[in-house]
Amino acid sequence: MKCIINRRAQFSASHRYWLPELSEAQNIQQFGHCTRLHGHGHNYVLFISLAGELDEYGMVQNLSEVKQVIKQEVTSQLDYSYLNDVWLEFQETLPTTENIARVIWQRLAPHLPLVRIQLFEHPELWADYLGNDMEAYLTVGTHFSAAHRLALPNLSYEENCNIYGKCARPNGHGHNYHLEVTVKGEIDSRTGMIVDLVALEQVVEDYVVEPFDHTFLNKDIPYFEQVVPTAENIAIHISNLLQQPICELGAALYKVKLIESPNNSCEVYCDQLASNSVASQQSEPILMSF
């Protein structure tokens, strides 16, 4: 039986975004505060996913050996380092979150049966790399607070209560929603980015956070005058709002995850980078809720 196992590791390092072929003004315009002379640092958290058949000892890989490989090939070299100088790859392509994940894959692939590298720069920004050349995924997290009521206008209060329970109460209730937006694209061979991170965060702010935050969704967001604002419907609406502006940034919206509470969340998959035949047949996003 094939199985996937995950190993966590971490390292602390600094980096700087700066391209010598650009002027100071051009670097600042493209990278903002990340151009500061002495760089800035992060406590990186790394998840290594491995796949394989179980051996006679009931393991995919001996985790003690996996730990040593990760330490030898990655963390011992990156921990307390200045990333721009530590590996040649980061002089060719800037050490962005997505590019660090890609290079870590390259370092570990000769030794481990990798299926995914996931690297957290901080809890609201991380990258996933699956071994597909320069293709990677980047996720940004944010939040907004809003109220809603779950009720169909053509049903009585009692009928709505039978469907939605307490969520049908007339004056609604609120949530601190946590939103995760994942984009997919090609890592630029020089900047290390699949998308302008500042521009991506601004799109999410402009199209979702600013209009949704501190609202009563049923009354303040026109879309929800006719659509019940369940977590699933909110996530689908957010995905529809974001697909085009993210496409204009040069990436593709891959997933929207909306966490309504610690117990309830849903995911909408919106990948438009499939083959033309598949893309032309896919008119609706794929929804997962739990």
Selected catalytic residue, list 89, 124, 135, 167 = 167
Active site residue 260: yes
The CATH number assigned to the domain with range 1-131 reads 3.30.479.10
Alpha-carbon distance of 193 to 93, in angstroms, equals 9
pLDDT of residue 19: 94
Residue recorded with tokens 């995760």: 180
Alpha-carbon distance of 76 to 223, in angstroms, equals 52
Strands 135-148 and 215-216: what pairing? parallel
Residue 265 neighbours by CB distance under 10 Å: 18
Global pTM value: 0.91
Q: Are 43 and 12 in contact (CB under 8 A)?
A: yes
pLDDT of residue 282: 43
At 159, the amino acid letter reads: E
> Token pair of 265, please?
């969340």
pLDDT of residue 1: 74
From-to residues of CATH 3.30.479.10 in the chain: 1-131, 132-290
Beta-bridge mates of residue 259: 178, 265
pLDDT of residue 245: 98
For domain 132-290, give the fold. Answer: Tetrahydropterin Synthase; Chain A (3.30.479)
| Residue of 197, 187, 190, 196 lying closest to 91 (CA atoms) | 190
Alpha helices in 37-124 (DSSP H): 63-70, 76-78, 83-86, 89-92, 97-108
Which ranges of the chain have pLDDT less than 50? 272-283
Alpha-carbon distance of 235 to 106, in angstroms, equals 35
pLDDT of residue 181: 98
> Token pair of 55, please?
């051996």
Alpha-carbon distance of 175 to 183, in angstroms, equals 25
Local structure of 141: helix, strand or coil: strand
Residue 6 neighbours by CB distance under 10 Å: 11
Active site residue 15: no
Active site residue 167: yes
Selected catalytic residue, list 98, 121, 260, 267 = 260
